[in-house]
Structure 1
Amino acid sequence: MTQALAPAYDVGAARRWAMLAASTLAQAATAVMIHGPAFLIPALHATGLSLAEAGLVAAAPTVGVMLTLVAWGAVADRRGERFALLTGLAATAAAGLGAALSDGTALLAVTLFLAGAAAASTNAAGGRVVVGWFPAGRRGLAMGIRQMAQPAGVGIAAISIAVVADRSGPHAAIWVPTIACALAAVVVALVVVDPPRPARTDPAATANPYRRDSYLARIHGVSVLLVVPQFLVWTFALVWLVQERDWSPAAAGAVVAVAQVAGALGRIAVGHLSDVVGGRMRPLRWVSVAAAITMALLGLAAAADLAIAVLLVVVATLVTVADNGLAFTAVAERAGPFWSGRALGVQNTAQFLAASAVPPVAGLAVTHAGYAATFALAALFPLVAVPLVPVREERELA
Structure 2
Amino acid sequence: MTSTAAPQRAGGRTVTPARRWAMLAVSTGGQAATAAMVVAPSFLIPELHRPVAEGGHGMSLPAAGLVASAAMVGLMCTLVLWGMLVDRRGERFALISGLAITAAGGAAGTLTDRPVLLAAAFLVAGAGAAATNSASGRVVVGWFPPERRGVAMGIRQTGQPLGVGLAAATVAALAHRYGVGPALWVPTGATVVAGVLVALVVLDPPRPPHHEAQAAANPYRADTFLARVHGASMLLVVPQFAVWTFGLTWLVEDLGWSPGRAGLIVALTQVAGAAARIAAGWVSDLLGSRMRPMRAVAVLAAATMGLLGLTAATHLAPLAVLFLVVASAVTVADNGLAFTAVAERAGPFWSGRALGLQNTGQHLVAAVVPPLAGLTITLWGYGATFALAGLLPLLAITLVPVAGERSVS
Normalised-by-shorter TM-score class: 0.7 to 0.9
2:29 alignment counterpart: 25
Q: 2:136 aligns with which of 126, 133, 158?
A: 126
Match of 2:404, SS? helix
User: Map of 1:95-110 to 2, 5 A cutoff?
Assistant: 95-100=105-110, 107-110=117-120
User: Map of 1:109-120 to 2, 5 A cutoff?
Assistant: 109-120=119-130
Moved more, 312-321 or 246-255: 246-255
Looking at structure 1, the residues matched to 345 and 23 of structure 2 have their Cα atoms a distance apart, in angstroms, of 22
Q: Which amino acid aligns with 1:331?
A: V
Match of 1:321, SS? coil
Moved more, 159-168 or 201-210: 159-168
**Contact 2:43 2:245 survives alignment (8 Å):** no
**Contact 1:6 1:132 survives alignment (8 Å):** no
Match of 2:403, SS? helix
Task: Write out per-residue CA displacement over residues 87-111 of structure 1, whole angstroms, 9 at most, x where no aligned residue.
Answer: 2122333444444467976555434
Looking at structure 1, the residues matched to 112 and 377 of structure 2 have their Cα atoms a distance apart, in angstroms, of 39
Instruction: Compute the displacement of 1:196 (Å).
Output: 1.2
- Cα pair distance change 1:192/1:357, threshold 3 Å: same
Q: 1:311 aligns with which of 314, 317, 322?
A: 322
- Cα pair distance change 1:90/1:242, threshold 3 Å: closer
Q: 1:16 aligns with which of 13, 20, 26?
A: 20
RMSD after superposition:
3.3
Q: Percent identity?
A: 61
- Cα pair distance change 1:308/1:18, threshold 3 Å: same
Instruction: Compute the displacement of 1:329 (Å).
Output: 0.9
2:55 aligned with 1:51: no
Instruction: Compute the displacement of 1:189 (Å).
Output: 1.4
Looking at structure 1, the residues matched to 186 and 241 of structure 2 have their Cα atoms a distance apart, in angstroms, of 25
**Contact 2:158 2:277 survives alignment (8 Å):** yes
Instruction: Compute the displacement of 1:186 (Å).
Output: 1.6
TM-score (norm: length of structure 2): 0.84
Unaligned runs of 5+ in 2: 9-14
Moved more, 160-169 or 63-72: 160-169
**Contact 2:66 2:371 survives alignment (8 Å):** no
**Contact 1:205 1:337 survives alignment (8 Å):** no
| Total equivalences in the alignment | 394
Q: 1:248 aligns with which of 233, 240, 257?
A: 257
User: Map of 1:1-398 to 2, 5 A cutoff?
Assistant: 9-10=7-8, 11-40=15-44, 42=47, 49-51=57-59, 57-100=67-110, 107-162=117-172, 165=175, 169-202=179-212, 206-240=216-250, 246=255, 248-249=257-258, 252-301=262-311, 308-366=319-377, 371-395=382-406
Unaligned runs of 5+ in 1: none
Match of 1:392, SS? coil
Task: Write out per-residue CA displacement over residues 37-65 of structure 1, whole angstroms, 9 at most, x where no aligned residue.
Answer: 44455279768854257665544333221
Looking at structure 2, the residues matched to 366 and 210 of structure 1 have their Cα atoms a distance apart, in angstroms, of 38
- Cα pair distance change 1:354/1:25, threshold 3 Å: same
Looking at structure 2, the residues matched to 158 and 301 of structure 1 have their Cα atoms a distance apart, in angstroms, of 23
Instruction: Compute the displacement of 1:280 (Å).
Output: 0.6
Moved more, 190-199 or 111-120: 111-120
**Contact 1:301 1:309 survives alignment (8 Å):** yes
Q: Which amino acid aligns with 1:185?
A: G
TM-score (norm: length of structure 1): 0.86
- Cα pair distance change 1:100/1:315, threshold 3 Å: closer
Instruction: Compute the displacement of 1:335 (Å).
Output: 1.2
**Contact 1:238 1:249 survives alignment (8 Å):** no
Task: Write out per-residue CA displacement over residues 298-337 of structure 1, whole angstroms, 9 at most, x where no aligned residue.
Answer: 4455566555444233222221111011111111111111
Looking at structure 1, the residues matched to 112 and 358 of structure 2 have their Cα atoms a distance apart, in angstroms, of 33
